Amino acid sequence: MFEGGLRWQALLASLVLLLPGLIQTSKCPQYCKCIWRSSKITVECVDMGLTALPADIDTSTQVLSLNQNNFTILPNGMFHDFGLINLQRISLAGCDLHTIRNNAFSGLFNLVDLDLSSNRLTQVPTGMFQQTTSLVSINLATNPIQVLQKNSFQDLRNLVRLDLSSCEIHAIHKNAFDGLTSIERLKLNSNKLASLPGGLPASLHGLSIQDNPWHCDCKLRMFKQWLETSNVPLGVEPQCHSPPRNSFITRLYVDSCSDHNQIILKKLSLFSSKLSSLSVPELACLPDMNQQSVALVAESGDTVRLKCSVISDPAPTIVWSYEGDQIRLLGEDSGNFPPFQYIATGSQIKRGATGAESEKYGVEHFFDGDLSYRSELMIRNVTAGENGSYSCIAKNRAGIGTTN
């Protein structure tokens, strides 16, 4: 028992002596901290006002922290030229960094973790990624990046974690994340995103997109569908920031002469509505009525056609009104916006229309493709009694568009 205890003491003493010996024999730059942490040779030169690398960093260094210095530009060969080819992790957070040369990280074939957060980068440093294909994690958070361009990360096929939170991103190209075949965690929270492209990498296991001003209309529909089919966990449920919506109430007023339908609009808002609480059809865009007011002159007895073009997603229902009162036609239902069907026009499809008739009026509706719809009001045997203002009204889940 006693001899065994002596052997354990001797072994512990050798371990205690070994680790300080490693640090003592390694070069450590003045004012830097050189330590053995998490089984890595680590050098920390933090908040020292550095504008260039210290010349005496040991070439066996595996983790290098240079946070809160003044590396505004990273030149080509910045680490390789100092023999620091064993680096696995580099942290350059808060260094006022605005420019990274394409070959700044050349020769670092073991580099797996790079922190570039809290700098002044205005775009993703895509050019440098050809030299950093071994990266597993990159942090670009809190940089004034506004747009993610096509193929921004195409060379990072081994990347697992990407942090783009708290930037100023307002637009993402649909192919921005192409090439990220191994990505599992993506942070896009706290940006200026109102919508996202239809799909994100299929390998994702976690996604953070909260605290963005999501505009919950038709442009967000494909992303909503992707969320539902991919089942990617969200850290915090995203909420809509806009748009306002209209609700519709029909009231019937009866007098001795006629019945009048009046449409009452009440402004609602999707603000703070959770994206998950909205159905895909509710993500609609307000009908866009392109044409301006037109004055037509006709001879008594003529037949006149008034045309109305609408861009709408989803498909609208369309009615016409005369002097503010809806034109009632035979075959319409009792609602203000009858559910007309649209027949496609084009060289391979016989042009057709659906609509409704009355003795004086006829209406036809057309689908012209690519979210374009058209309605035509026919007025037969016009007389002075038909003088006045005619309006085309289009409605979908987002609200009402009107033109005269």
Give the pLDDT band of residue 271 (cuts 50, 70, 90): low
Check whether 186 has a pLDDT greater than 90.
yes
CB 291 within 8 Å of CB 310: no
How far apart are alpha carbons 245 and 223 in whole angstroms? Answer: 20
Beta-bridge mates of residue 99: 73
Residue 88 tokens, joined? 């696995």
Same fold, 26-236 and 285-403: no
DSSP string, 45-62: --SS--SS--TT--TT--
Beta-bridge mates of residue 261: 252
Say what the pLDDT of residue 362 is: 83
Say what the pLDDT of residue 282 is: 82
Least-confidence region, from 170-184, 195-209, 229-243, 342-356 = 342-356
How far apart are alpha carbons 169 and 190 in whole angstroms? Answer: 9
Say what the pLDDT of residue 261 is: 41
Q: DSSP secondary-structure letter at 239?
A: B
Give the pLDDT band of residue 353 (cuts 50, 70, 90): very low
How far apart are alpha carbons 202 and 104 in whole angstroms? Answer: 31
Check whether 355 has a pLDDT greater than 70.
no
pLDDT digits (tens, 9 = 90+) for 5-27: 434 343 333 333 334 434 443 57
pLDDT digits (tens, 9 = 90+) for 292-337: 566 777 788 888 888 888 988 888 888 888 888 888 776 544 333 3
pLDDT digits (tens, 9 = 90+) for 104-124: 999 999 999 999 999 999 999
pLDDT digits (tens, 9 = 90+) for 64-95: 999 999 999 999 999 999 999 999 999 999 99
Residue 323 tokens, joined? 């002097």
Domain ranges of the chain: 26-236, 244-282, 285-403
Section 368-383 average pLDDT: 85
Residue 101 burial (C-beta neighbours within 10 Å; 0-12, 13-18, 19+) = middle
CB 25 within 8 Å of CB 17: no
* pTM across the whole model: 0.76
| Residue showing tokens 């050019």 | 127
Q: Mean pLDDT, the chain, as a whole number?
A: 80
CB 353 within 8 Å of CB 373: no
Give the pLDDT band of residue 245 (cuts 50, 70, 90): low
- Residues 6 or more apart from 169 whose CB is under 8 A from it? 145, 146, 147, 148, 188, 191, 192, 193
Q: Which of these, 320, 315, 292, 314, lies nearest to 379 by C-alpha position?
A: 320
Better-predicted residue by pLDDT, 266 or 284? 284
- The enclosing H or E element of 145 equals none
Check whether 184 has a pLDDT greater than 50.
yes
- The enclosing H or E element of 11 equals helix 2-25
The distance between the two most distant Cα atoms of the chain, rounded to a whole number of Å, is: 124
Check whether 210 has a pLDDT greater than 90.
yes
Better-predicted residue by pLDDT, 402 or 133? 133
Q: Which of these, 319, 302, 296, lies nearest to 365 by C-alpha position?
A: 319
Say what the pLDDT of residue 270 is: 64
CB 352 within 8 Å of CB 369: no
| Residue showing tokens 């420019």 | 99
Q: Which of these, 57, 72, 116, lies nearest to 92 by C-alpha position?
A: 116
* Other Cβ atoms within 10 Å of 215 Cβ, number: 18
Check whether 338 has a pLDDT greater than 80.
no
Determine the topology of domain 26-236 in CATH.
3.80.10
Q: DSSP secondary-structure letter at 392?
A: E
Sign of CA dihedral 215, 221, 222, 228: positive
CB 224 within 8 Å of CB 280: yes
Residue 259 burial (C-beta neighbours within 10 Å; 0-12, 13-18, 19+) = exposed
Pick the CATH number of 285-403 from 2.60.40.10, 2.60.120.620, 3.40.50.720, 3.40.140.10: 2.60.40.10
Residue 374 tokens, joined? 């058209």
How far apart are alpha carbons 198 and 149 in whole angstroms? Answer: 15
